[in-house]
Amino acid sequence: MEKLTLDELWSLEQYAQCRSEFRQEVLNHKQARRLSIGPNVSLLFEDRITIRYQVQEMLRVERIFEPQGIVEELAVYNPLIPDGMNWKATMLIQFDDVEERRIALRNMVGIEQRVWVQVDGFEPVYAVADEDLERSTEDKTSAVHFLRFELDSEMGQTVAGGASLSAGIQHGAYQHTIPTVSNDIIYSLRADLSC
């Protein structure tokens, strides 16, 4: 999947005019790219559309309009776009209660290393986490992590051919499995692979 370029982005004025419509388009798109693993963890599988939205929103919030600043934002977000035989996801750990969240993040240290996807007939693929910077300490993990699931070509071709997919987390403080990922999500993820 190709990376975003400066030419593909709207100016702040253009974005202000189409933001509402684009936001709704992205929200609809994300429905087939969000996978809940248990009650408190979800993966949002990123692609060009989700990342374009993130970049446009950052430019808007930070009022960035000069080319150098835009290029810097692209350099931050482009690595989150799948590139080859991989899926990239933002992992969100969510607890409504502040104290419960604090305790959970302390107990879930290392959880980002224990997230997996499995193509039917193959071994699980565990995520490579937070390649840009470390988000956990010995005392607690972050509520947000960036994951990459690297598949081999045979796995990718099997998924493209219609194989089922499962996913899960195997961590001492959080263990949940999705035996069969929905067809909508699998269909969406197939487009991310360069088979």
pLDDT of residue 58: 96
Which helix or strand (DSSP H or E) is residue 115 part of? strand 115-119
Burial group, residue 87, by CB count within 10 angstroms (0-12, 13-18, 19+):
buried
Q: Give burial (CB, 10 Å; 0-12/13-18/19+) of 49.
A: middle
Residue 45 half-sphere exposure, CB side, CA atoms within 13 Å?
27
Q: What is the pLDDT of residue 139?
A: 87
- 120 and 71 in one domain? no
Same domain? 54 vs 107? no
38 pLDDT band, cuts 50/70/90, is very high
Residues whose CB is less than 8 angstroms from the CB of residue 82 and which lie 6 or more positions away in sequence, other chains included: 1, 46, 47, 88, 192, 193
Q: Report yes or no: 87 and 148 within 8 Å, Cβ to Cβ.
A: yes
Domain at 169, CATH number: 2.60.40
Query: Which one-letter DSSP state was computed for residue 178?
Result: E
Secondary structure (3-state) at 155: helix
pLDDT category, 195, cuts 50, 70, 90? low
pLDDT attached to residue 135 = 73
**Residues 90 and 68 placed together within one structural domain of the fold:** no
Query: Do residues 41 and 10 share a domain?
Result: no
User: Does the pLDDT at position 145 exceed 80?
Assistant: yes
- What mean pLDDT value characterizes the chain? 94
pLDDT exceeds 80 at position 158: yes
pLDDT at 80: 94
**Angle (deg, nearest 10), helices 48-62 and 67-77:** 140
What is the rounded distance in angstroms from the CA atom of residue 164 to the CA atom of residue 179?
Answer: 9
Task: Say whether both 136 and 177 belong to one domain.
Answer: yes
57-111 tens-digit pLDDT: 999 999 999 999 999 999 999 999 999 899 999 999 999 999 999 999 999 999 9
Residues 76 and 137 in one domain: no
pTM of the full predicted structure?
A: 0.91
Statement to judge: residues 94 and 185 lie in one domain: yes
List, for residues 165-186, the tens digit of each pLDDT value. 999 999 999 999 999 999 999 9
Domain that holds residue 93: 37-46+83-192
Same domain? For 97 and 151 the reply is: yes
pLDDT for 123 beyond 90? yes
Q: What is the pLDDT of residue 137?
A: 75
Same domain flag for 123 and 165: yes
- Calculate mean pLDDT across residues 38-60: 97
Residue 70 and residue 3 share a domain? yes
Phi and psi at residue 83, in whole multiples of 5°? -145, 80
Number of structural domains (the chain) is 2
Nearest one of 174, 176, 31, 167 to 101, comparing CA atoms: 174
Of the pLDDT bands very low, low, confident and very high (cuts 50, 70, 90), residue 140 is very high
Q: Which residue has the tokens 């374009």?
A: 52
